[in-house]
Chains A and B, each alone.
Chain A
Amino acid sequence: MKTMTLALALAATTVGLSAKADQPMNDLEIAHTAYTAGSLDIRYAHLALAVSENDAVREFARTMIRDHTAVNDAAGALIAELNVTPQDNDFSRALVEGAAAKRAELVALTGADFDCAYATNELGYHQIVNKTVAETFIPAVTVAPLKTLLEDALVTFRAHEAHAERMVEGLQCAS
């Protein structure tokens, strides 16, 4: 079992999961989880493009696909360069399970209900992922190129968080 820090616990809670770990994640597990988080957001984005007719939501979704694909491509190149294999782990599996549940919720929605649910989830998802990457993953990683990649990726993810904030505000979901 792996250590579930506050950030990870929050992440698990956000995606509807329970904490179940007590050991620090190693570099290969962190790499796997970061890659998984990006891939899951790409899947959310494809769902948004299939369902939403809102221009702001569709623009955001296209940006998520474009940017997360670029980050994951860079991660893939680094993995190949280092000749290592990322390790699946409890946290990655929890993210996958949580995202499947969230997609099941989203796919049942349409129109503004979908847009708000997607936008709100994107904001929460990026808030938690960014906190986890900044406070847990980057400090824990021991391989310099992976640390650099995570730091560069975090710049992108924080831009996404700010973009998601603007999207949520623009949709006026609370009113």
Chain B
Amino acid sequence: MRKLTLVTRRRFGQGLGASLALASAPGASPAHDGSHVVEVRISRFAFVPKRIEIAAGDTVLWINDDLAPHTATARDGAWQTATLEHGSSARVIFDAPGDMDYVCAFHPHMTGTVSVRSKPAG
């Protein structure tokens, strides 16, 4: 089962770095050793990059650059971010391997994939 954590925050200070933000954001789970934060921008009604590969335990951070609100919502309904207003961000931690296809709940033509690899043993 994948664990997910949602955090939204305004654009201000986002340049501090996702890992620092993850560690200090209210409600966020601390990342385990060796985990990473991978950023996906939401720009011009598209997820950029459209497909990302991460390791189990990594965090995906979505940042909405559009004026219109968006979400990142799993096609199978297993997880979703909060509504992301302009300049806001949200994060999800993926613990289970697999390909996770997702859409924007408000604009379903916007699609993306998070491909989660098993974390190397040791």
A contact residues vs B (CB 8 Å cutoff): 63, 66-67, 70-71, 74, 149, 152-153, 155-156, 159, 162-163, 166
Q: Enumerate 25 A-B pairs (CB-CB under 8 Å) in ascending A order.
A: A63-B106, A63-B107, A66-B69, A66-B106, A67-B67, A67-B68, A67-B106, A70-B68, A70-B85, A71-B68, A149-B67, A152-B66, A152-B67, A153-B67, A155-B44, A155-B66, A155-B67, A156-B45, A156-B66, A156-B68, A159-B45, A159-B68, A159-B107, A159-B109, A162-B109
Closest to A155 in B: B44
List 20 extra interface pairs beyond A63-B106, A70-B67, A163-B109, CB under 8 A.
A66-B68, A66-B69, A66-B106, A67-B68, A67-B106, A70-B69, A70-B85, A70-B86, A71-B67, A74-B86, A149-B67, A152-B67, A153-B67, A155-B45, A155-B66, A155-B67, A156-B66, A159-B68, A159-B109, A163-B107
CA distance in complex: A153, B68 (Å): 8
Contacts of B68 in A (CB 8 A): 66-67, 70-71, 156, 159
10 residue pairs, one from A and one from B, having the closest CB atoms: A67-B68, A159-B45, A156-B68, A152-B67, A155-B44, A71-B67, A74-B67, A70-B67, A70-B68, A156-B67
Interface on chain A toward B: helix, strand, loop, or mixed SS? helix
Closest chain A CB from B45 CB (angstroms): 5
Within 8 A of A (CB), among B64-113: 66-69, 85-86, 106-107, 109
Contacts of B86 in A (CB 8 A): 70, 74
Interface size on B, residues (CB 8 A): 11
Contacts of A63 in B (CB 8 A): 106-107
Contacts of B67 in A (CB 8 A): 67, 70-71, 74, 149, 152-153, 155-156
CA distance in complex: A63, B69 (Å): 9
Give the residue among B67, B85, B107 with the most A Cβ atoms within 10 A: B67
CA distance in complex: A143, B86 (Å): 21
CA distance in complex: A152, B67 (Å): 7
CA distance in complex: A149, B67 (Å): 9
Closest to A166 in B: B109
Contacts of B44 in A (CB 8 A): 155
Contacts of A74 in B (CB 8 A): 67, 86
Closest to B45 in A: A159
Contacts of A149 in B (CB 8 A): 67
Contacts of B66 in A (CB 8 A): 152, 155-156
Q: Mark B52-71, 1 if CB is under 8 A from A, else 0.
A: 00000000000000111100
Contacts of A159 in B (CB 8 A): 45, 68, 107, 109
CA distance in complex: A164, B67 (Å): 19
